[in-house]
Amino acid sequence: MSFWEGRATARVATAGLTAGLLVLAGLALWSSVSAQATTAHVRQINDSSERWSRVMQHINISDNALRDLQVARTPQTIDPLRNSIGSARGDLEWLRASGQPDDITEATRLLPLYDQTADMLRKVVAGGDTLQAGQANLAHSSLRRQIASTLSSKRLEVTEYLRAADERNSQLRVAQIIAFVLDAFLVALFGMVLLGHRRKILRQAAKNEHEAHHDALTGLANRTLLARRMETAVAKACKKNEPLALLIVDLDRFKEVNDSLGHHSGDLLLRQVANRLSWAVRDTDLVARLGGDEFAVLLPGVGSADNARMVAEKILSALAMPVTLEGLELEIAGSVGVALCPADSIDGHELLRHADIAMYAAKREKSGVAVYDARLHERGASQLTAVTELRHAIDRGELFLHYQPKALANTGAVCGVEALARWQHPTRGLVRPDEFIPIAEENGLIEPLTRYVIDAALRQCRAWSDAGWEVPVSVNVGAACLLHTEFPGDVADLIKRHGLPARLLTLEITESAIISDPDRAVDVLRGLTELGVRLSIDDFGTGYSSISYLRSMRVHEMKLDRSFVTHMCTDAGDSAIVHALVALARNFGLQAVAEGVEDQDTWTALAEAGCDVVQGYFLSEPLPAEEIVAWLGDRAAAHA
């Protein structure tokens, strides 16, 4: 914020300008009042002077008439003198009553002399007394002298007064000029402040506009801006017959990064992805973030589906470069759905939906890119109904379990089974867990599903136990369950309901579940260990987690992921990983369980590496519950 936009500057400028204008107005008022007072005063002096002049005139007339009479006493000289007697009295009385203080004094003093002179003149008119005439002459000249002196002092007073008024006026003018200059400066200051504020308002408006149309985390366009741009782009595409494409990009396994490394890392990753997307396309294309790890790219004038697919591939290879987060190097991948206008739709919203459907198809089929067509739409719709159907399947008990045996690596003795969920769909037939577990996880169904599986597995375990077989069961636990503090209580209820020792139940958890909220997960895991339930870390080595939590967590078992195990005899890298993981398990006092064992060599290699337990197609595929007893019987017999 600059000086001109400061609140204090604005306040000072406003207050200054107000004060300045008030001073200027005050000075103007003062100057007008003072001019008026000057005029009034001068007029007053002039009035008196005029009266004195008239008095003087009357006396002169009288005196002239007297002199004429003294020369020749005729009716022509007597009449004027008679008429002139007392003619100045009115003015003298006015001066005594309404004149200024000095007029009053002077008039009061002169009136008796004037009256005496009038008496003398009357006597002169009546009798022709020459002595009286001479005295009247003297009185006249005395009166005239005094009045002349009054008049000249009046003139002097006016001159003095006007000089003082002039001086005052010039002072006032200087003050006015100063106030004017000051005001002009304040007006300029105020103008600068106004301009500053205008700039600030414009900037704020631009900022608001930007915020309303951009994603705060990545700075990319948001849904609103995308919709707006799409509207014009679609209209142009239709008018000029230049097909445009809309791409939806969704990261694979983003949730896992967020859960294992925390939201801060998730945010960093999203920013990097945003940058890569922006670099991968032209300036005229628009990259937007729709929310979460979902992005959209608008390609105006792309021309054809092939071109759009090429851009999508370019985006995927830009994403494929490894990202370093918190010192870990991660590989990120994404799925891109493509929809074209006008081929797929000329409606922006529908185009977005179609690109979304294509993106889900790309994710499902792990194909990277998928271009929309109507068949995908049907499949997309079926994904939606799958959620409802899965919910019903859990409620109505349409899920059932297969059990895959596990054996001790050195002796081959069976030491338990892993319960694996299956879904017998009324029309689609048998659905694999890889298809419905992600749906359950994404739609809040994993907790009821896990409870359902634990319940069914324990019921089966109880049935085997009643038939004389003690078979420990392992159940896979959805990550979300470990974030629910009621989960240990639920498990305790189920164990109690089936009347089994807790040690017969092993819960297989994944690393990401622990890392997403370690404090809460540790609480839940502690609650479970206190029940006496065994804990196993599933798919060990595939997550993004650190192994430091192994120290603080009381787990019993480490399950080496089948991606390292199955080919360990032919792949030196896998073999090294398996050896390292087994050693790690031993050091932490954990039982090492290898899954995905498909042949004898692998089994032998695992036994030699010190692995405790093996599981895999070589021992047995997952079997329906009723086949397990027969299998166990055969195996026991063979063993014996």
Q: Give residues in contact with ligand C2E (CB under 6 A).
A: 404, 420-421, 432-434, 437, 450, 453, 476, 478, 538-539, 562, 566, 595-598, 616-617, 622
What are the backbone dihedrals phi and psi of residue 114, each rounded to the nearest 5 degrees, phi first?
-60, -45
Stretch (H or E) spanning 130 = helix 130-213
Which of residues 250 and 538 has its CB atom nearest to Ca ion in the complex? 538
Which of Ca ion, ligand C2E, none does residue 478 bind (CB under 5 to 8 Å by kind)? ligand C2E
Shortest CB 393 distance to ligand C2E, Å: 13
Record the tokens describing residue 197, joined without a space.
Answer: 């504020």
Give the DSSP H or E segment for 104: helix 101-127
Q: How far is the CB of 638 from Ca ion (least distance, A)?
A: 26
Q: Which option in ligand C2E, Ca ion, none does residue 371 bind, with CB closer than 5 to 8 A by kind?
A: none
Of Ca ion, ligand C2E, none, which one sits near residue 472, judging by CB under 5 to 8 A according to partner kind? none
Q: Does 476 bind Ca ion (CB under 5 A)?
A: yes
Shortest gap between Cβ of 620 and ligand C2E (angstroms)? 8
Ordered alpha helix ranges (H), 247-373: 254-261, 263-280, 305-320, 348-364
Q: Which is nearer to Ca ion, 243 or 478 (CB)?
A: 478
Is 476:536 a contact under the CB 8 Å cutoff? no
Task: Give whichever of 339 and 537 is closer to Ca ion, judged by the CB atom.
Answer: 537
Query: Residue with CB nearest ligand C2E?
Result: 616
Please, what is the minimum distance in Å from the beta carbon of residue 536 to ligand C2E? Answer: 10
* CB-based contact 590:370 (threshold 8 Å): no
Q: Give the residue with the Cβ less far from ligand C2E, 147 or 453.
A: 453
CA trace torsion 201, 206, 207, 210 (10° rounding) = 160
Q: Which does 598 bind (CB under 5 to 8 A by kind): Ca ion, ligand C2E, none?
A: ligand C2E
3-state secondary structure 239-268: HHCCCEEEEEEEECCHHHHHHHHCHHHHHH
Cα angle 466, 469, 636; round to 5: 150
| Other CB atoms within 10 Å distance of the CB of residue 530 | 12
- Residue 453 interaction partner, one of Ca ion, ligand C2E, none, beta carbon < 5-8 Å per kind: ligand C2E
Which residue matches tokens 């204090």? 8
- Closest to ligand C2E by CB, 27 vs 420, is 420
| The entry of Ca ion, ligand C2E, none that residue 342 binds, CB within 5 to 8 Å by partner kind | none
Q: With respect to ligand C2E, which residue has the nearer C-beta, 133 or 495?
A: 495
Q: Considering CB under 5 A, how many residues would be counted as binding Ca ion?
A: 4
539 binds Ca ion (CB under 5 A): yes
Instruction: Output DSSP code: residue 215.
Output: -
Nearer to ligand C2E, 369 or 535 (CB): 535
Query: What tokens does 438 get?
Result: 């992600």
Per-residue binding string, Ca ion, 498-537, x by CB under 5 A, is: ----------x-----------------------------
Nearer to ligand C2E, 302 or 419 (CB): 419
Q: What mask, x for binding Ca ion by CB under 5 A, covers residues 366 to 385?
A: --------------------
Closer CB to ligand C2E, residue 250 or residue 418? 418
Three-state DSSP state, 62: helix
Residue 539 Cβ vs Ca ion, minimum distance, rounded to whole Å: 4
Q: Residue 319 in contact with residue 273, Cβ under 8 Å?
A: yes
Contact partner, 259, from ligand C2E, Ca ion, none, Cβ < 5-8 Å per class: none
Contact partner, 404, from Ca ion, ligand C2E, none, Cβ < 5-8 Å per class:
ligand C2E
What is the DSSP track for 394-462? HHHT-EEEEEEEEEETTT--EEEEEEEEEEEETTTEEEPHHHHHHHHHHTT-HHHHHHHHHHHHHHHHH
User: To the nearest whole angstrom, how small is the minimum distance from the Cβ of residue 234 to ligand C2E?
Assistant: 42
316/537 with CB nearer ligand C2E: 537
Confirm or reject binding of residue 557 to Ca ion (CB under 5 A): no
Q: Edge to edge, what strands does the sheet with 244-251 contain? A: 286-291, 294-299, 244-251, 334-341, 369-371
Nearer to ligand C2E, 154 or 562 (CB): 562
Q: 285 CB contacts (<8 Å, ≥6 apart)? A: 297, 298, 299, 300, 311
Q: Minimum distance from CB of 538 to ligand C2E (Å)?
A: 5
Q: Which one, 404 or 529, has the nearer CB to ligand C2E?
A: 404
| Least Å from the CB of residue 219 to ligand C2E | 38
Closest CA to 535 of 497, 481, 599, 577: 481
Apex CA 382: angle with CA 379 and CA 384, to 5°? 120
User: Cβ 386 to ligand C2E, closest distance in Å?
Assistant: 16
Q: How far is the CB of 449 from ligand C2E (least distance, A)?
A: 6
Strands 399-408 and 414-425: antiparallel
Question: Which contacts qualify for 485-492: CB closer than 8 Å, 24 or more apart?
Answer: 485/520, 485/523, 485/524, 485/527, 487/447, 487/524, 487/527, 487/528, 488/524, 488/527, 488/528, 488/530, 488/531, 489/527, 490/451, 491/454, 491/528, 491/531, 491/533, 492/531
> How far lies 175's CA from each of 20, 161, 163, 171, in Å?
12, 21, 18, 6
Closest approach of Cβ 422 to ligand C2E, in Å?
8
**How many CA atoms lie within 13 Å of 160's alpha carbon, on the beta-carbon side?**
7
Least separation in angstroms between residue 265's CB and ligand C2E is 24
Shortest Å distance, C-beta 623 to ligand C2E: 10
Q: Which one of 106, 183, 250, 538 is in contact with Ca ion (CB under 5 A)?
A: 538
- Looking at the Cβ atoms of 453 and 582, the one nearer to ligand C2E is 453
Is residue 249 within 8 Å of residue 277, measured between CB atoms? yes
Residue 183 contacts which entry, ligand C2E, Ca ion, none (Cβ below 5-8 A, type-dependent)? none
Interacting residues toward Ca ion by CB under 5 A: 476, 508, 538-539
